[in-house]
Structure 1
Amino acid sequence: MARSYGVAPVDRDDTVADNDNAPLLGAGAPRAEEEDGHATIVSCVGNLANTIMGTGMLTFPLVMASGGILPGVVTCITSGCIGALGLWMLSRCATRTPYRKSSFFAVSKITFPSAAVFFDAAIAIKCFVSYLIIIKGLMPAVVRSFYHVFTAPDVNPPWWAVSGHVWIMVFLAFLAPLCFLHRLDSLRHTSYVALFSVLYLVCIVIFCYWSRPEGTIEPGPIYLIHFDKSFISTFPVQVFAYTCAQNLFPLYNELKSNTQPRMNVVIFTSIFSATATYEIIALFGYLTFGSKVGPNIIAMYPSTTIFIAIGQFAIVVMVMFSYPLQVHPCRGCLDKVIGGTQKAVAPSSETQSLNEDEEVEAEALDPHGSHGKMSKTKHVALTSAIVGFGFAIAYFVDDLQLILSFVGSTGSTTISFILPGLFYFKLFRNDPGHSRALLGAALALALYGALIFVFCLTFNIMKVIDSHRV
């Protein structure tokens, strides 16, 4: 009997019960219907786009200033295309895993089995710390902005309102329940709010170009093409601005009728939306301030109006609702690092059928592909550990920039470029008639990732050495 892998049969009932409405610590096996996908294209685009777009977008005007308008536009589009290629290759690799059981771990077990746990460890470490530290640093500035707008200049906010530690505790109470949700699709509404915040930031940048707020500094020189010494140091901003591969497999598992054309819509709509956002912010921000633009475009505007103050709070909202999207893949990866040892079952080619007496039934997997559905006790324990550890670091540590620069650059490079290229080449190289151009593109993507990996690692090491010389 033939087995369907990865792609949901079109005649299958996609109506499911919602696991997120069930008690976290309840008994009873999940019903079979819950294995089917239920997420819409819109919700998947919302979650993937929210995963992509972070505070790095605020640096894009500075990136454009380092090379000029034309290089800035071209490198942004190029980085988006490369990111889309990596996501597309991962979506193709997902079809080789059992039905709705795709994950980095599942694909690794059928390509590089001995390294599967290490890949997941790299993803888990990367995912979840920086967002909380950003919130801790942003909220006091947001409070001061609102006080500046609504009170007299000599009135200062109370100490607790400008304490990052207080705000960490506030956001812990608010974000923790979201982190315990089982599905990415359950986070779609918070993703919509985050994307609305992004839209508000875009409106600020456009409006302040056409109607400069009082007190805005005069722009510096504006160039069509002008490379300066900061171009090399700002280039990684664009390279890593499209990192979202950690959530590609969960979205594939949850998407209703997860055919390749529907996945293509999710991937390319998300990448296009992010690219358009980056280009608009970069162009209008650069045209407003020219070579004087700083690393945070919103901080360049005088916080004397409610319009700008709300924009600063919009950054917090965007970062805040991105955090649960990072906990989700981190939890799945830790599940495999701790106990995932069994091999995923998959056919050797996309069109291969298995005889009934040769079939090996795949074990029930969670949306991340862990072997044996994660028990609710384990789900609660892992989530509690991730959230507790992350908030503890954010509470006691003010700056992890150096460590995060190493972890982020190497981890993002691995999951966005190196692994998609290697996975795709390994899984499809023996398929009769498969495009040689695509196989070559897969190797080129992996090589590109390796070069970026070495470049970023070297650059960060040099920064450490230079800092010790001062």
Structure 2
Amino acid sequence: MEAPWGVINVEPGWYVSSQQPEPAEAEAEAEAEAEELSPLLSNELHRQGSPGVSYSFSVFNLMHAIMGSGILGLAYVMAHTGILGFSFLLLIVALLASFSIHLLLSMCIQTAVTSYEDLGLFAFGLSGKVVVAGTIITQNIGAMSSYLLIIKTELPTAISEFLSGDHSGSWYLNGQTLLIIICVVIVFPLALLPKIGFLGYTSSLSFFFMVFFALVIVIKKWSIPCPLTLNCIEHYFQISNATDDCKPKLFHFSKESAYAIPTMAFSFLCHTSVLPIYCELQRSSRKRMQNVSNIAIVFSFLIYFISALFGYLTFYGKVTSDILQDYSKYLPHDVVVRTVKLCILFAVLLTVPLIHFPARKALMMMFFSNFPFSWIHHFLITLAVNIIIVLLAIYVPDIKHVFGVVGSSTSTCLIFVFPGLFYLKLSREDFLSWKKLGAFILLIFGILVGNFSLALIIFNWINNK
């Protein structure tokens, strides 16, 4: 099958048309070609009258795409892997995520396309494009529904903590009602924006909320004694049986450890947003975008590790899959905890419109690829996605199920499997080159970890039932 080198223009500013390039025969030629082809992206932006998005806003947008509800479940993961086990796994996932972004950018330069879906088209034809688009849609819908599930669960509690008196039965304390209102008033209008770069301001605000959240977790570690106690009607009830429960474990494995790598993969997945951000980056080049990705991953890693470590050292084995619920239980009247809860909920909420972009793009490429950009299609698909994620948020019982299933299936495919597989297919480098060997390792790691984790999670579900 002859590769279709023309690229379809679906949404303004995201795709560029090009002629078939000559693939690099060696690493040096590939590097030279990368620097020559990257300006095509900038030229297209200027041709459409857009100066592009600044370097700092691009970093904030990518960090915003990385950091979301996953930060709330990492302390739970540490409790079931141990401090050293968690540190090793988190570092491996972060490094592999950065390397897979490097492969994606390299392939985009070689093929002169700027779409994850079109990489699947180049590698395996129409079936490859459909599989990638379907995976992106499933992943992003799962991610957005997990964010809204947190909003539905935590926002009524956060509001009630600022109120005095009995307000039970009020509409503003009903999670489903608040969820629908927020999606109509905030999520849907932001998701309708035509370009992902417009969310730079909300992304920077969300990042500082995440930093505030991590700092509060560090500070409040000394406000909750261990063994853990609950204050109920001015009487303290010890719920931790022994001081052994207050000793951190360096390595620990249980059936819940099956959620570790899927949750981490879920937490570092930003690959569906990398290429749209790359298209809108000022003076775009592969090296410049790789630096954006590296900075975003490093800062996200630090915030993830700090919040997970001190969250675990606060609650130890009693930490739940949503650490906000733990703070509500043990520090119900703390003003700082109440404030940071609202901040993290707002940060998680603002992530939803950002994830809308790649999901909508994948849907438009699947169903309207032969049509010019239409605001009607743009509006209807955004509305349909919004309705689906609200329904899922209403009916999904536990956030760890979203982390586990989505993380072990679609997240591992988008971070590990697809970049490695596509690079092995598209690159003409020798198989013993470091990139191709790395791509092969990435592919095998993703297949093994994804299938093993998903099998364990399903096995746990069957046993629990």
Is 1:239 aligned with 2:236?
no
Structure 1 residue 286: deviation in Å? 2.3
2:205 & 2:264 partners in 1: Cα distance? 24
Q: Which of the numbers 155, 164, 185 marks the counterpart of 1:139?
A: 155
Question: Counterpart amino acid of 2:381?
Answer: L
Q: Is 1:14–1:38's contact at 8 Å kept on the other side of the alignment?
A: no
Aligned residue pairs: how many? Answer: 412
After superposition, give the CA deviation of every residue in 1:181-239 in whole Å (9 maximum; x if it has no partner): 11110111111121121111111111112455899648733235232425623423223
Equivalent position to 1:263, from 289, 292, 309:
289
Aligned residue runs from structure 1 range 65-104, under 5 A = 65-98=79-112, 101-104=113-116
Matched, 1:332 2:354: no
Hey, what does 1:273 align to over in structure 2?
299
Rounded to whole Å, the distance in 2 between the matches of 1:146 and 1:33 is 48
Question: Distance between the aligned counterparts of 1:141 and 1:53, measured in 2?
Answer: 23
* Secondary structure of residue in 1 paired with 2:39: coil
Corresponding residue number in structure 1 for 2:308:
282
Matched to 1:465, the amino acid is I
Q: Distance in 2 between matches of 1:111 and 1:15?
A: 26
Tell me the CA shift for residue 107 of structure 1.
Answer: 0.9
Cα distance in 2, alignment partners of residues 273 and 33 from structure 1: 33
Read off the aligned partner of 2:199 and give its amino acid letter: L
Distance in 2 separating the partners of 1:68 and 1:84: 24
Write the deviation string for residues 404-448 of structure 1: whole angstroms up to 9, x where unpaired.
7434431111111100101122222x24x7871210110110111
Whether 1:159 and 2:170 are equivalent positions in the alignment is yes
Q: State percent identity of aligned pairs.
A: 24
| SS state at 1:294 partner | coil
Once residues 196 and 287 of structure 1 are traced to their aligned partners in structure 2, the CA distance between those partners, rounded to angstroms, is 23
Residue ranges of structure 2 left out of the alignment (5+ in a row): 1-18, 22-32, 230-239
| Distance in 1, Cα, partners of 2:169 & 2:52 | 47
Q: What is the letter of the counterpart of residue 92 of structure 1?
A: S
Which residue does 1:451 correspond to in 2? 448
Corresponding residue number in structure 2 for 1:378: 377
Q: Which residue is 1:387 aligned to?
A: 386
Q: Deviations over 1:262-303 (max 9, x none)?
A: 112111111101110111112222223333333333332312
Match of 2:213 in 1: 201
1:210-249 counterparts in 2 under 5 A?
210-212=222-224, 217=229, 220-223=245-248, 225-230=250-255, 232-236=257-261, 237-249=263-275
Change (3 A) 1:283 1:467: closer
Letter in 2 for 1:193: L
RMSD (CA atoms): 2.9
Which TM-score applies when normalising by structure 2? 0.80
Aligned to 1:356: none
User: Counterpart of 2:460 in 1: which secondary structure?
Assistant: helix
Distance in 2 (alpha carbons) for counterparts of 1:242 and 1:12 = 27
1:125 alignment partner in structure 2: 138
Q: In 1, are the aligned partners of 2:38 and 2:286 still within 8 Å (CA)?
A: no
Higher share of residues assigned helix? 2
How much does 1:115 deviate?
2.1
CA contact (8 A) 2:417 2:444 kept: yes
Write out per-residue CA displacement over residues 146-193 of structure 1, whole angstroms, 9 at most, x where no aligned residue.
22xxx2xx6345521211122022212222110111111011111112
Does the 8 Å CA contact 1:61/1:285 hold for their aligned counterparts? yes
Letter in 1 for 2:397: D
Q: Cα–Cα, structure 1 residues 180 and 215, in superposed 2: closer, same or farther, change >3 Å? A: farther
Within the candidate set 449, 454, 457, 1:460 is matched to 457
Deviations 1:352-393 (A, max 9, x none): xxxxxxxxxxxxxxxxxxx66422222122222222333344
TM-score (norm 1): 0.80
Question: Residues 263, 403 of structure 1: CA spacing in aligned structure 2 closer, same or farther, 3 A cutoff?
Answer: closer
What is the distance in 2 between the residues matched to 1:56 and 1:317? 15
Q: Is the 8 A contact 1:204 1:311 kept in 2?
A: yes
Q: Separation in 2 of the partners of 1:439 and 1:241? A: 26
* Matching of residue 315 in structure 1 with residue 344 in structure 2: yes
**In structure 2, C-alpha distance between the alignment counterparts of 1:250 and 1:127, rounded to whole Å:** 15
